[in-house]
Amino acid sequence: MPPAVDVPLLVSLLKEGSEDEKFKAMLTLQTQILRGVRQSTQIVKAGALPPLVKLLMEGSEVNKAAAACMLGNLAASSDEELSKKIASAGALQPLVALMKDGSEDAKEQAARALGNLADSGVEELSKQLVNAGALPPLVKLLEEGSEEGKARAAYAVGHLAFNSEELSAKIVVAGALLPLVTLMKNGSEDGKAGAAYAVGHLAYNSEELSAQLISTGTLPPLVMLLEEGSEDGKNQAALALGQIASNSNELTAEIFNSAVQPLITLLKEGSEHGKQQAAFAISKLAATGKEVRAHIFGAGALQPLVVMLKEGSED
């Protein structure tokens, strides 16, 4: 068994230790957070949040980034209450400020923390993040950040857009669409997948947004990602295309002409998750009319769909 960790002592070091002691305390606490929700809750109950927020504002550059990382891991625990407590402790504004003025590492960690908070499932928390001014620095990070920072920002934008037409509209007004298209074309593999993830969540929320995404030029890089991207990139591209197709019959022909064959390839050769996403996109295209369905099945989609259904029924 690993040695017992004295959480109260480590939290006291966060409050009163030297910069080096604070950094080492955070490293040790991080190992506890990664063990699960129970350990994360214990750390929060021991009073870790106020000194972490203070470190975001007043710590050394290294400790600001470490505090943002630790808050991001706490927010990633899938516990809504922990995310609410992080917001109540006053972390949102300092995280936004860190995205504006921090080191590259601090910006990346702050974007990740904000993304994890937005991914907590608490819509009100996402609204608080936007009201705290998160969108302009996220868009700037999409445009000018490191490769890691751009990817973190893209996923954060996608989390903020999830199931919220109101926030999706604000993301568009903040100028996120063109940087997302650029990231899908020229970013790292993680950045491309993150941008497609964001596009998919933006498209989910309205027909108008789907049309804007197409007019901004999202379709060619999505298709290229579907053909040549990483496994996650292909999966996210298929989901995004399905979301766009589900919102407008008028967009279906444009999507069909360029994307149906790569979608069928993913349906045949992709991972299990990839096959599911390809089937989703193909089903949304097929739902728009008999003529489209005939073309899809003529292109070879029927056999892999039947195989997928058979394998699913046997599991």
In a domain, 107, yes or no: yes
Sign of CA dihedral 275, 281, 287, 292: negative
Token pair recorded at residue 270? 């992709």
CATH of the domain at 4: 1.25.10.10
Count the domains in the chain: 1
- Asked if residue 198 lies in contact with residue 154, where contact means CB atoms within 8 angstroms, the answer is yes
In a domain, 62, yes or no: yes
In a domain, 8, yes or no: yes
- Cα angle 193, 165, 216; round to 5: 50
pLDDT tens-digit profile, the chain (315 residues): 456 789 999 999 999 999 999 999 999 999 999 888 889 999 999 999 999 999 999 999 999 999 999 999 999 976 788 999 999 999 999 999 999 999 999 999 999 999 999 998 788 899 999 999 999 999 999 999 999 999 999 999 999 998 789 999 999 999 999 999 999 999 999 999 999 999 999 998 788 888 888 889 999 999 999 999 999 999 999 999 999 888 766 666 677 778 888 998 898 888 989 989 988 988 888 887 787 778 787 777 777 777 777 675 454
pLDDT value at residue 248: 66
Round to whole Å and give the CA distance between 148 and 189.
Answer: 10
pLDDT value at residue 172: 95
DSSP letter at 2?
P
Chain Cα centroid distance, residue 57? 25
Token pair recorded at residue 291? 């003529």
In a domain, 30, yes or no: yes
pTM for the whole structure: 0.91
Which string of DSSP letters, residue by residue, matches the chain? -PPP--HHHHHHHHHHS-HHHHHHHHHHHHHHHTT-HHHHHHHHHTT-HHHHHHHHHHS-HHHHHHHHHHHHHHHTTS-HHHHHHHHHTT-HHHHHHHHHHS-HHHHHHHHHHHHHHHTTS-HHHHHHHHHTT-HHHHHHHHHHS-HHHHHHHHHHHHHHHTT-HHHHHHHHHTT-HHHHHHHHHHS-HHHHHHHHHHHHHHHHT-HHHHHHHHHTT-HHHHHHHHHHS-HHHHHHHHHHHHHHHHH-HHHHHHHHHHHHHHHHHHHHHS-HHHHHHHHHHHHHHHTT-HHHHHHHHHTT-HHHHHHHHHHHHH-
pLDDT value at residue 1: 44
In a domain, 113, yes or no: yes
pLDDT value at residue 315: 47
pLDDT value at residue 297: 78
DSSP letter at 301?
-
- Amino acid type, 98: L
In a domain, 236, yes or no: no
- Asked if residue 231 lies in contact with residue 270, where contact means CB atoms within 8 angstroms, the answer is yes
Residue 199 Cα distances to 30, 209, 268, 312, angstroms: 32, 10, 24, 29
pLDDT value at residue 238: 95
Token pair recorded at residue 154? 């893209």
| Structural domain that includes position 107 | 1-120
Q: Which residues contact residue 86 at a Cβ distance below 8 angstroms, ignoring those fewer than 6 apart? A: 49, 71, 74, 75, 117
In a domain, 162, yes or no: no
Round to whole Å and give the CA distance between 278 and 270.
Answer: 9
